[in-house]
A and B are shown apart, each in its own frame.
Chain A
C-alpha cells in the first residue's frame, strides 16, 4: 500500500505517495520528476544516483523513499542553475571533466560534500572520495584538477 512521503528537495516541499519498497531514487525521479539524479546500475555500485540527505552523501537507489521522510535532500538541480552554475560545475566545464556526462551529477555532489568537509583536500583525498562514483569515460584526472582549482580559489 502507498504511504504519504513529505520531504524537502532543493528547498522545495513535496508531498507524494510511495510504496514502502520504492527507493529514494524512484521517489525523486518518478514521484517528483527531477531526472538529474541518474539511474544506471540500480545496484549501489556506480554512484550516478548520489544525492545529499541532511548533508550526508547517499546512493539514492539504496535508500528507501520513506527513510527520507521529513528530511532535506539536495540533488544536482539544487546545486546550481544553468544561468548560475556552482563553482564546481564551472570548474568541471573548464577542466573538461565531463565526457558522456552520466556520472557527472553524482560526481559533483560527492565533490561538494568533500569540499564542505575538507576545503583544502589533497589529490589523494579526492581520489578516495570518488571510490563510490564510477566514470567509465575516465574523467577522474580532469575532475580531480577541477576540484583542486576550486579549493585553491576558495583559499585565495
Chain B
C-alpha cells in the first residue's frame, strides 16, 4: 500500500484547493460506503484522501422556482420520504427505499452514489429521467452538467481531476400533468438490480404526451435513453392507451443490447426492460392524470 495522507477541510473552497494541489492522486471521501471497499481491495491507491465529513455546506436541501437543490452530502436515508416536503422527488425517494440496506443508507451520500457511477445504479437512472443536473466545483469555478452526460460509462464520470460534485438539481415540473416512476428487478434484497427503468411523462390537456423520458439501467456501461420508445409516446394519446405503452416498451427493449452476466442472460434482461418499462410508464401516466 502506498503512503496515504488524510486531510479534513471544512469548506468547499478548501476542498477545491486541496484537489488542485494533489491532482489525480487525491480522492474525496464522503460517506465512504463505496470508497472503503475500493481502498481495501487495492482498486484505488490514492496519495491523499480528502474527507468532506466536516464540509457542512453540502448538507442542505432547498427548493426554489428552478427546482430542488440537494447537497452532495445528503445521506440516502434522509431522502426517503423527502417527497412529503418536495413532491417532485417521489420517484427518487421510492427508488432509494430499495437501495442497499439501512446501515449503508445511513452514511451513503447522494453525491457519492452518483460519482460511483455504478452501471446498475437506480439513483442515476431516476435522476436522468427527472432531467436532473449536477454542479461541479473546482479551483477554476463552477459548472453544471446534465446527469445524462455526467455518467459516461461503467464507473466513469465527466468529472475532471480537481472537481468536486457539490449539488444535484432536480428541475420543477407541474405535478398536475407530469410524473416520474421507477421499476427495478432484483435477485436479492439490497443488491443492485438486474435491470432498472425510470420513466417520466408529461401530458397536455387532451391527454397527449408532451414529454417522455425512458431511462434504462444496467444494460450498458452508462444508463441509456430509449429514444425510439420516447418518440413513440410523444404527441400520442397515452391516457388509457395500453397499446401505445406496450409498443413503447417493446421499442425500449429493442433499443438495448445488454451482455449476459452471472445474474441474468441478455435475453432475460431484454425481457425485463420491456416488462419494467411498461410498469413504470403505466404508473407515471396514472400519477400524471392524478
Contacts and interface: CB of A to CB of B under 8 A. Distances in A.
Interface stretch (B11-19, B36-44, B118-126, B137-145): B36-44
Contacts, number: 78
Interface stretch (A43-51, A81-89, A92-100): A43-51
> Which of A56, A61, A63, A64 is most buried by chain B, counting CB atoms within 10 A of its CB?
A64
B102 A129 contact: yes
A113 to B, nearest CB: 8
Contacts of B33: 44, 62-63
Interface stretch (B2-10, B86-94, B146-154, B220-228): B2-10
A42 B53 contact: no
A56 B29 contact: no
Interface string A28-61: 0000000000000011110100100000111101
Contact of A131 (B31, B51, B107, B189): B189
B51 A132 contact: no
Contact of B40 (A21, A66, A129, A132): A21
B5 A58 contact: no
Contact of A44 (B53, B104, B106): B104
A89 B64 CA distance: 49
B29 A67 contact: yes
Contacts of A110: 102-103
For chain B, what secondary structure do more than half of its interface residues adopt (helix, strand, loop), or is it mixed? Answer: mixed
A131 B77 CA distance: 14
A56 B40 contact: no
Contacts of B106: 56-58
B4 A62 contact: no
A56 B3 CA distance: 31
A131 B40 contact: no
B231 interface: no
Given A1-B5, A21-B4, A44-B37, A62 B107 contact: yes
6 contacts: A44-B104, A57-B103, A63-B33, A64-B39, A132-B102, A132-B104
Q: A-B pairs with the 8 shortest C-beta distances?
A: A132-B101, A20-B6, A131-B101, A21-B39, A132-B103, A57-B103, A20-B4, A56-B106
